[in-house]
Amino acid sequence: MVEVRRSDITLLDVIASQEIKTSIIEVINECKNKDILNNYGLESLNKILLSGPPGVGKTWTAMAIAGELEMDLVFVRWDSLISSYLGSTGSNIRKVFETVSAKPAVLLLDEFDAAGKDRGGDGQEVGEMSRVVINILQNIDMFPPESFLVAATNHGHLLDTAIPRRFVVVNMELPGEDERRRLIEYYSKGLPVSIDLDEWLKKTDGLSGDEIRTKIHQEAKRAILKNGSEFMSVATL
Ligand SMILES: Nc1ncnc2c1ncn2[C@@H]1O[C@H](COP(=O)(O)OP(=O)(O)OP(=O)(O)O)[C@@H](O)[C@H]1O
Ligand SMILES: [Mg+2]
């Protein structure tokens, strides 16, 4: 039901606006210095909800948080959790949360809307769904302070209203011009691809980080294969 991975990605690999970076850094710093805060009777923040459209780097950011905290990243496999949904939901969810009680880690509830839909829906599923939501909320409230919880969704509006207020909510948007420039630089680094920055800034307007990376890699592969063993000059941006 869970998959544990180690991540060597850091926040330097996350390209986002200063505002987004600042809120993420603030939570990480609190988590790293929780003992100092505890001495003053203050609780450190350790739950973040990343909301935004597909491909803007929500999962990537969760990996960076785990990298920064030097902790394992525990992915929840909703499919296996959901396959045995009816009946054993409660114990399945508890088992998932238990993995981070036993050993501090970053728990990632990715595609969180799969489980956290609003309780006010309709149809047969509602009874079970509300139990799922209530169960998750209870587990979130008892979340161990030594661990870190990241939830990610691209349907923030679908989440039960009780969920966001338990988190530091970070809205991740499509990259603006400055972020696109940095994404282009980051993903073309070391590749034999010649890029006209002005042109690329125009043609990547409205694209996500994921789409920009794919586009650059496509261009690089074409260039490499077209030129056979010929060595091409690395683009200077
Ligand atoms: N802000 C970003 N900075 C650096 N790389 C990015 C960024 N956004 C996306 N990428 C690249 O795109 C890939 C896919 O992004 P990611 O899976 O994190 O998106 P997501 O927001 O989780 O999308 P989804 O909602 O579909 O799950 C990442 O592995 C990374 O290589
Ligand atoms: Mg994702």
pLDDT of residue 237: 46
Could you report the per-residue pLDDT of 107-137, keeping only the tens digit for each?
999 988 777 565 555 555 555 556 777 888 8
145/34 same-domain check: yes
186/79 same-domain check: no
| Percent of the chain at pLDDT exceeding 90 | 65
Q: Pull the structure tokens for residue 55.
A: 């491909």
pLDDT of residue 163: 84
Residue 188 forms part of a structural domain: yes
Count of structural domains, the chain: 2
DSSP the chain: -EEEE-----GGG----HHHHHHHHHHHHHHHTHHHHHHTTPPPP-EEEEE-STTSSHHHHHHHHHHHHT--EEEE-HHHHHHTHHHHHHHHHHHHHHHHHHS--EEEETTTHHHHB-TT--STHHHHHHHHHHHHHHHHHT--TTSEEEEEES-GGGB-TTTGGGSEEEE-----HHHHHHHHHHHHTTSS----HHHHHHHTTT--HHHHHHHHHHHHHHHHHHTTTPPPPPPP-
Whose C-alpha lies nearest to ligand 1, atom 24? 54
Q: How far is the CA of 57 from the centre of ligand 2 (A)?
A: 7
Confidence of residue 208 (pLDDT cuts 50, 70, 90): very high
| Residue 83 in this model has a pLDDT that exceeds 90 | no
pLDDT of residue 196: 93
Q: How far is the CA of 24 from the centre of ligand 1 (A)?
A: 16
CATH number for the domain that contains residue 135: 3.40.50.300
Q: How far is the CA of 132 from the centre of ligand 2 (A)?
A: 21
Whose C-alpha lies nearest to ligand 1, atom 8? 57
Residue 236 forms part of a structural domain: no
Residue 40 forms part of a structural domain: yes
- Sheet (strand 168-171) strand order: 2-5, 73-76, 106-109, 148-153, 47-51, 168-171
* Domain boundary pick from 171, 187, 216: 171
90 vs 36, which has greater pLDDT? 36
Distance CA 17, CA 173 (A): 9
Residue 233 forms part of a structural domain: no
Q: Please say whether the beta carbons of 50 and 58 come within 8 A.
A: yes
Average pLDDT over residues 148-165: 87
pLDDT of residue 158: 79
Average pLDDT over residues 11-38: 96
pLDDT of residue 127: 58
Phi, psi of 125, deg, nearest 5: -65, -20
Average pLDDT over residues 178-190: 97
Sign of CA dihedral 209, 212, 218, 223: negative
Could you report the per-residue pLDDT of 62-74, keeping only the tens digit for each?
999 999 999 999 9
Residue 235 forms part of a structural domain: no
22/112 same-domain check: yes
**Best probe residue, ligand 1, of 210, 213, 216, 217 (max atoms within 8 Å of C-beta):** 210
Mean pLDDT lowest among 80-84, 103-107, 124-128, 174-178: 124-128
Residue 231 forms part of a structural domain: no
pLDDT of residue 89: 74
Does ligand 1 come within 6 angstroms of the Cβ of 65?
no
Confidence of residue 227 (pLDDT cuts 50, 70, 90): low
Its domain, for residue 222, covers 177-226
221/162 same-domain check: no
Q: pTM, whole model, 2 decimals?
A: 0.90
* Domain boundary pick from 132, 150, 171: 171
Whose C-alpha lies nearest to ligand 1, atom 26? 54
104/218 same-domain check: no
Residue 185 forms part of a structural domain: yes
State which ligand 1 atom lies nearest to the alpha carbon of 110: 27
* Domain boundary pick from 124, 139, 171: 171
Q: Pull the structure tokens for residue 159.
A: 């989440």
64/156 same-domain check: yes
104/189 same-domain check: no
Residue 141 forms part of a structural domain: yes
Mean pLDDT lowest among 14-23, 45-54, 79-88, 207-216: 79-88
209/125 same-domain check: no
152/183 same-domain check: no
159/206 same-domain check: no
Phi-psi region of 18 (alpha: psi -120 to 50; beta: other; left: phi over 0): alpha
40/109 same-domain check: yes
Mean pLDDT lowest among 32-46, 116-130, 150-164, 221-235: 116-130
Confidence of residue 84 (pLDDT cuts 50, 70, 90): low
pLDDT of residue 214: 98
pLDDT of residue 224: 87
> How large is the angle between the packed helices 177-188 and 209-226, nearest 10 degrees?
40
If you average pLDDT over every residue of the chain, what do you get? 88
Does ligand 1 come within 6 angstroms of the Cβ of 7?
no
60/135 same-domain check: yes
